[in-house]
Structure 1
Amino acid sequence: MAVSMNQLLSDAKKLVTKLKEYDHKTDHLMSKSQTLNNAVENMKQYHEEVLQMSSQSTSSQRNSIIVTIQRESKQLRKLETENRELKLALEDYQWVLELIMSKYRQHTNQLIKLEKVETQCLNNQTNNSNEVITRLMNQICEMASVMNESILMDDKNSLKEQELIAKLKTENKALRELLQIARANGSLNKISNEMS
């Protein structure tokens, strides 16, 4: 069986092409291997540094850090509880303020109605109109004094509530700043890691 020269050349070209592919794949595997070796070397170096740092820190430092973290954790829990209570108190005060304002509006409407009655009486004067006017004036005066007392009480309550709201806002701001400081120092992350 005679093999032609063209066939030999063709087979030789295929072999050369395959050799080039293998060479390329080998280079690629070599570069990957080098990358992995570098990564392993870096990990070993990191591990050695961690061990060195761990051996350098004393157990008393660790204990003091743990005590500090536990103290901050308790303070944060207290602050969170207090913050929830303040929010509930604020909601209660807002509800009371709304109730006071609705009563104020009711009294104002009654006063307007009484003024309308007074106006009608003045327009429809009769022999008994002076007595009616006097009686209505007395009623209006009584209603006005009741209204003034109610307004004074509402003003006092409103001032107290505004002072309390300002105090609550200040406390809430301080709590948020403390919480932000704890987060910035990483105390919250350490606590959550220890709890889990």
Structure 2
Amino acid sequence: MSLTIQQIITDAKKLAGRLKEQDSIAGSLLTETHAISKKIDAMKQFQEEVDQLNEVANQKPHSQLIANIQKENRHLREIQQENRELRSALEDYHITLEHIMSKYRAHTQEQIYKSKVDYKALQNQRYQYIIQQQADKIQEMAAIMQKAAMMDEDKELRFEEIVSQLKAENQGLRELLALSKRLDATNMEDKNLQTES
């Protein structure tokens, strides 16, 4: 059984075709290997950058920073609720004070009408005693009014202090939130750059 030249050429063509197929398969495997290698390098670089960001954030992971911000947000909402309650209590206090003052005015007018006396009879000791009593009552009521006014001013000063503290805390929280957003934006840009590459 001798091989003819035609058979040798046909076998050589088949072998050449198979070599070309295997060469193209090897080329595609090599390309895929380079792509996977690049992805691994990008993932290593991403992990290094995340580690650096964690070091910058005082060794706190991103999730812990978000948890802290959420905790501060809850605290801020509690403070705002307390602020609303204080405002409501202050309004109630003003309404109560107005009610007391109107009762005081009505009582004072009533006492003034009751205490009208004949000026000629003022020489009488009895009328002088009544006038002294009325003067003492008026002084007592004036002292009560002055004390109520001072309490109102103290309450307003405390309210203003709380408002200024809330503003300062709110500003700090806004800065933390802005920092968190910048970190998120940086992470997203890094991920986008890695996926594009």
1:181 maps to 2:175: yes
Deviations 1:86-105 (A, max 9, x none): 22123213312321232122
Q: Which residue of 2 aligns with 1:168?
A: 162
Q: 1:132 Cα shift?
A: 5.9
User: Which of these residues, 75, 81, 84, is aligned with residue 81 of structure 2?
Assistant: 84
| Partner Cα distance (1:102, 1:174) in 2 | 36
Deviations 1:7-45 (A, max 9, x none): xxxxxxxxxxxxxxxxxxxxxxxxxxxxxxxxxxxxxxx
SS at match of 1:69: helix
Q: Which residue of 2 aligns with 1:122?
A: 118
Q: 1:166 Cα shift?
A: 0.9
Structure 1 segments of 4+ aligned residues over 6 angstroms from their partners: none
Q: Which residue of 1 aligns with 2:106?
A: 109
Q: 1:54 Cα shift?
A: 8.4
Q: Which residue of 2 aligns with 1:74?
A: 71
Kindly report which structure 2 residues correspond to 1:5-24, keeping only aligned pairs within 5 A, or say none.
Answer: none
Contact 1:104 1:150 in 2 (8 A): no
- Normalised by the size of structure 1, how large is the TM-score? 0.55
Pair 1:54–1:102, CA change in 2 (3 A): farther
Amino acid paired to 1:162: E
Pair 1:117–1:69, CA change in 2 (3 A): same
Percent identity for Structure 1 against Structure 2:
9
- Normalised by the size of structure 2, how large is the TM-score? 0.55
Where relative contact order (Cα < 8 A, 6+ residues apart) is larger, the structure is 2
Contact 1:76 1:179 in 2 (8 A): yes
| Partner Cα distance (1:156, 1:56) in 2 | 63
Q: 1:183 Cα shift?
A: 4.1
| Partner Cα distance (1:72, 1:113) in 2 | 61
Corresponding pairs, count: 137
Pair 1:53–1:96, CA change in 2 (3 A): farther
| Partner Cα distance (2:99, 2:44) in 1 | 67
Q: Which residue of 1 aligns with 2:16?
A: none
CA RMSD of superposed structures (Å)? 3.3
Q: Which residue of 1 aligns with 2:47?
A: 57
